């Protein structure tokens, strides 16, 4: 008697997500807003925004970018799993590392 071998569910959608990195200097807010305003809400991509900002000022980049896109905009946190169709913003005075698990 042959026992059927269970099929692998395959990679999840999150595992297949491509990440787009966007970097800007302190004066690059307008360019980031213009770019994100033209990205479709369901592009299937993840966006990671790194902007050079004064670490002594209150961070408002997440709120400012949320006004220009229908995608969710979140501040990145430690051990956060990335999702497609979300914009992640680096926190002020931080380093950002993205780790891929397959």
How many Å apart are CA 51 and CA 26, to the nearest integer? 6
List domains and CATH numbers for the chain.
Answer: 14-89 (3.40.50.180)
pLDDT per residue as tens digits for the range 3-30: 554 454 555 554 578 999 999 988 899 9
Strands of the sheet with 72-75, listed across from one edge: 18-24, 45-51, 86-89, 72-75
Question: In this structure, are residues 49 and 87 in contact, taking their beta carbons and an 8 Å threshold?
Answer: yes
Backbone φ/ψ region at 85: left (φ over 0), alpha (ψ -120 to 50), beta: left
pLDDT per residue as tens digits for the range 41-78: 999 999 999 998 777 777 899 999 999 999 999 999 99
How many Å apart are CA 61 and CA 25, to the nearest integer? 12
């Amino acid at each position: 008697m042959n026992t059927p071998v269970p099929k692998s569910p395959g990679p999840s959608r999150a595992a297949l997500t491509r990440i787009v990195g966007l970097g800007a200097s302190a004066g690059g807010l307008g360019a980031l807003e213009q770019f994100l305003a033209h990205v479709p809400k369901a592009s299937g991509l993840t966006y990671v925004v790194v902007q050079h900002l004064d670490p002594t000022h209150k961070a408002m980049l997440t709120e400012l970018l949320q006004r220009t896109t229908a995608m969710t905009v979140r501040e990145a946190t430690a051990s956060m799993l990335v999702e497609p169709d979300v914009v992640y913003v680096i926190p002020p005075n931080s380093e950002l590392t993205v780790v891929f698990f397959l």
